[in-house]
Structure 1
Amino acid sequence: MRREKMKMKKIEDISARQVTFSKRRQGLFKKARELSTLCDAEVAAIVVSPAGRLHNYASSEIEDILSKFSMQLDKEQHSADFQRENNNGVEHLNSGIDEKMKRLRLIMSMYLHQWGIEELQQLEMMLEAILKRVTARKIQTLCQRFAYFSSNRTFF
C-alpha cells in the first residue's frame, strides 16, 4: 500500500491533526537525535503543541545549548549594529566629499574664466593631489573598519 502525499494545509479533523502532530513530533525528534549522533552536533528542538504543552529534545543540557544560541544572537546583533554604523560612516564621508565638491565647483565657476593656462594647470595638479589624498583616506578608513569588524567576528 502506498502513502499519499499530504497537502500543506491545516488538517480539519481534530483527532487526525493530533495523531499527525504526535507522529511528526516523534519524527522531528528522531531526526534531531540522528543529526546529533552522526555529526556530533549539539541539537535542541522545542515544540509547543496546539494544546499549549511543551515538548523538547536536547542532545546535551538544553540550558547550555540555549545559552550558546543566545550568545550567538547577541554577537550577530552587535555585528549588524557595527555594520550599520560603518555604512552610516561611509555615507557620511561620501556626503561630506560631495558637499565640498559642490562648494569647490561654485568657487571655481566664479573665478575660472579669469585664470590663465598656467593657473589652470596648477589648479588641475592641486585637484589631482587632493583627490588622491581623499581616496587614500577613504580606503584607509574602510580598511580600519573592516579590520575591526573582522577581528571582532567569532563563530561557533
Structure 2
Amino acid sequence: MVRGKTQMRRIENATSRQVTFSKRRNGLLKKAFELSVLCDAEVALIIFSPRGKLYEFANSSMQETIGRYLRHTKDSRASKQPTEETVQHMKNEAANMMKKIEQLEVSKRKLLGEGLGSCSIEELQQVEQQLEKSVSNIRARKTQVFKEQIEQLKEKEKVLAAENLRLSEKCGMIVQTPDGSKEPGEIENAGEDSHPISDVETELFIGPPPERRTRRLPPRL
C-alpha cells in the first residue's frame, strides 16, 4: 500500500526544534563535505540558526566562491537580455508580417469583387479561377450534406414504419396471411346501428362558391 506524503511543518516545541536543528545541520555539513571530496566540486554552504548564529563550510575560499556565484548570475542575466541584433531581427519579422497581412486584405477585397480597377487580365483570371474552385467545393459539400440528410430521413422512415406496424398489430388492424406476410385487416363494426362513413368531397372549386339553397320552414299553425 502506497502511503501518502507527510506534510512538513514547523516544530512547535522549542527544545525539540533546537535538537532537530543541531542534528540536521551536522548532517548537511557532512553531506557538503562528502560532495566536495567525492565529486571534486566547489561547495560553499551558509547556515544561520534561528538565533542568528552563523555556520558555514567551503572547500575553498568562501569569498571566492561567492564572487564566482555573483559573476555567474550576472552573466546569466546579461545573456537573457535581447541583443541589438535580436531586436533588429524581431523588427524585420514584424514588418514582414504586416506586409503579409496587407496582401491578404487585398486578396480578400478582390474575392469580394472590390478593388479590381487596377487588376490586369491575368490577375482577373486568377481571381475567377479561385472563385470557380470555391464554388465547386461548396457545391460538392452541399451535395454530400443532402445525401446525408436523405439517408437520415430513410432511416427515420424505417423506424416510423416499424412503430406503425407494431401499433397496428396491437390494435388488431393487421392480419397474417397463410404465407406468413402481414396485410391490413378490416375493422369490424361495433354494432348494427353503425353507419358507413360517407366519402369526403375533395374536389377543388375555382370561382365564387355555389349559392346555398334556403331551407323553408313549415308554417306554424
TM over 0.5: yes
Within a 5 Å distance, the mapping from 1:54-69 to structure 2 comes to: 54-69=54-69
Q: Could you tell me which runs of 5 or more consecutive residues in structure 1 were left unpaired when the two chains were aligned.
A: 122-156
CA displacement 1:35-89 (0-9 Å, x = unmatched): 0000111100111111122211111110011111111101110111137x83x55
Q: Could you tell me which runs of 5 or more consecutive residues in structure 2 were left unpaired when the two chains were aligned.
A: 127-221
Cα shift at 1:115:
1.4
Match of 1:47, SS?
Answer: strand
CA displacement 1:120-155 (0-9 Å, x = unmatched): 88xxxxxxxxxxxxxxxxxxxxxxxxxxxxxxxxxx
> Does 1:98 find its partner at 2:97?
yes
Cα shift at 1:99:
1.3
> Does 1:8 find its partner at 2:8?
yes
Q: 1:103 to 1:32 in 2, by over 3 A?
A: same
Q: Give the Cα separation in 2 of the matches to 1:115 and 1:18.
A: 89
Q: What corresponds to 1:116 in structure 2?
A: 121
Q: 1:27 to 1:6 in 2, by over 3 A?
A: farther
Cα shift at 1:8:
1.6
Cα shift at 1:94:
2.8
Equivalent position amino acid for 1:114 in 2: C
The structure with more helix, counted as a fraction of residues: 1
Equivalent position amino acid for 2:47 in 1: V
Match of 1:82, SS?
Answer: coil
The count of aligned residue pairs is: 115
Within a 5 Å distance, the mapping from 1:1-156 to structure 2 comes to: 8-82=8-82, 86=86, 89-106=88-105, 109=110, 110-111=115-116, 114-117=119-122
Q: Give the Cα separation in 2 of the matches to 1:98 and 1:23.
A: 62
Structure 1 segments of 4+ aligned residues over 6 angstroms from their partners: 118-121
Deviates more, 1:22-31 or 1:88-97: 88-97
Q: 1:106 to 1:6 in 2, by over 3 A?
A: closer
Q: 1:46 to 1:12 in 2, by over 3 A?
A: same
Q: Give the Cα separation in 1 of the matches to 2:21 and 2:67.
A: 28
C-alpha RMSD of matched pairs (Å): 3.0
Q: Could you say which structure has the larger radius of gyration?
A: 2
Match of 1:12, SS?
Answer: coil
Q: Give the Cα separation in 1 of the matches to 2:29 and 2:99.
A: 62
Match of 2:81, SS?
Answer: helix
Q: Give the Cα separation in 2 of the matches to 1:21 and 1:27.
A: 10
Q: Give the Cα separation in 2 of the matches to 1:89 and 1:19.
A: 60
Q: Give the Cα separation in 1 of the matches to 2:50 and 2:60.
A: 26
Q: What corresponds to 1:138 in structure 2?
A: none
Match of 1:114, SS?
Answer: coil
